[in-house]
Amino acid sequence: MKTYQSRKDVPNEEKWDLTDLFANEEAWQEKLDECSKLADKLKEYDGKITDGSSLLHYLKTQEELSFHIRKVFAYTMFLSDIDTRDSHAQKLSSKTTKLGVKVSESTSFFMPFLLSLEEETLRSYLSEEKELEYFEDELWKSFRFKDHVLTKEKEELLSQLSESFQAPGDTFNMLNNADIQFGEVTNEAGERVQLTRGMYSKLIEDENRDVRKEAYKAYYKPYVELNNTIATTLAAEVKTNATMAKVRNYDSAIHKALFSDNIDLTVYTQLIDAAKKHIEPLHQYARLRKEKLGVDELRQYDLNAPIVSGVKAEIPYDEAYDKMIEALKPLGTDYVERLKEFKEKRYIDVRETPAKRSGAYNMGVYGVHPFVLLNHHDDLNSLFTLVHEMGHALHSHYSSKHQPQITANYRIFVAEVASTVNEILLIHYMLNQTTDTKMRAYLLNHFIEQFRGTFFTQVMFADFEKQTHERAEAGEPLDAESLNELYEELFRTYNGPDIVFDDEVKYGWSRIPHFYRAFYVYQYATGFASAIQIASRILEQKEGALESYLTFLQSGSSDDPLELLKRAGVDLTTSEPVEAAMKTFSELVDELNQL
């Protein structure tokens, strides 16, 4: 594995070329100043949009600002991410942040104004200016919220209280990220060191069970000690969601959360019902895990330990890229050519260097191209990460190429589909290529773990969110005891009777930041199930499967997410996609059992 002590040592072809955004810092500063002037211009429209012409000019100016500010923000973000210690990059980022605040203040009047209009008035504005056709769909999407907007006085009051409404999440984030200190554990050198989150993610996968247990106990210790405090923050968050839904005339908190994407509640409930109905293969996998680990009792700290060891193939970056191209050939010639272009034109920042942001991401910049950040380690996990992020990147590329700016960004609901399709195609390619039994078992297990983490665990979280909000809406108590009992019951339902529970299991809910962004996590599971069905259709070469998928990648947010997925052959208003995914999971577990 290649390691670099300095960014200067990384070959240029493995680093971003940020001149695609701005030739130099002076050009960036000029664009920043231009954006500031555009923000001032937008503020002048407050109270002065009285006809179709003034509405059109406001929207065109806003879109122009949006186009430029995305580039301005991306430039400073990328500079900061390649070296988080760079004080000059931080200084530029603070300028971007100030600009963002200014833009938010300058445009804050518009949505209340739009939703204060009568429908007839908006229609008259649209009829006055033909160019408003470009903005019409987005205006009507926003106008859907009219029934959930209150009087001007009440909206102003809620706006003044908005910081208070954020307090439960802010408090949890401060506790979770700043105040919580984990206990000490023994590192590989036999030294006692303070446990960190990054360290925990590695230790909980260690082959030594004593190491896993010690890390597990240390990690959960502060959550156990702060159980009542965190229960109070989550209860406040849930009750706030329930209250705001009622105040804004929604049937429930979950209806409010699903409204913006026009998602029917049955999509959510069918997901949970189907997962529970087909949960037995996951329980079977737990029994297999217990057998392979050779433990008398399977415990939570055994669930991430490797059951297929000794597979540590070194795959240099160039070889990994070639493997990806071979694996993704079923997506067609143009897709493959675009993949090659990303590497050749330096759209990817490849190597881990000191103080570089951890993890990986894709960020599309409309009018330029997507940028991908990696921390590539020349191993199997890095290959899967590469393939995953390039799925996001090609989704961004095709949407930007085929959509106008207003609909180029795809919604969160469909965001994980393209990345997961790529991973599935890679696994199938590697399974077909390998003759090594251990490697085959490793790949099957990798896929099963993806299912467990991205599908079953997220459905369990979604179930927990649904039940906690229902209890709040029914006036039932949400305290530490009731939250612990609910989570423990759900954990047993989903993970099966073969796991022996340590006391820490029931506190698992208290460490999940996603619960402060209600009804978000279910989208990971629906996206995963959708990707399973799409990849299967492509691999089986079903008529129109590839064409409909490529059309989906080109569609951005040009329609509601459910409609876009239907065109790709996935109808989440029925239980079929989830049922099909459950069938795939069962087959994977069966084959791994046989191996």
356 and 81 in contact (C-beta within 8 Å)?
Answer: yes
How far apart (Å, rounded) are the C-alpha atoms in residues 579 and 4?
A: 46
How far are the Cα atoms of 141, 409, 431, 583, 594 from residue 591, in angstroms, in the given order?
47, 39, 12, 13, 5
263 and 191 in contact (C-beta within 8 Å)?
Answer: no
How far apart (Å, rounded) are the C-alpha atoms in residues 579 and 124?
A: 47
How far are the Cα atoms of 88, 104, 136, 411, 437 from residue 129, in angstroms, in the given order?
46, 26, 11, 29, 66
According to DSSP, the residues that pair with 348 across neighbouring strands are 372
Neighbours of 567 (CB within 10 A): 13
Structure tokens that stand for 13 in this block: 């072809």
- Sequential DSSP letters for 280-330: HHHHHHHHHHHHHHT-SSB-GGGTTS-SS-S------HHHHHHHHHHHTGG
* 389 labelled catalytic: yes
Query: Which member of 14, 129, 214, 389 is catalytic?
Result: 389
Helix, strand or coil for residue 400? helix
457 and 450 in contact (C-beta within 8 Å)?
Answer: no
Helix, strand or coil for residue 141? helix
The three state secondary structure string of 150-192 is CCHHHHHHHHHHHHHHCHHHHHHHHHHHHHCCCCEEECCCCCE
Q: Which helix (H) or strand (E) holds 494?
A: helix 480-495
Structure tokens that stand for 530 in this block: 């959708």
- Catalytic residue numbers, as ranges: 389
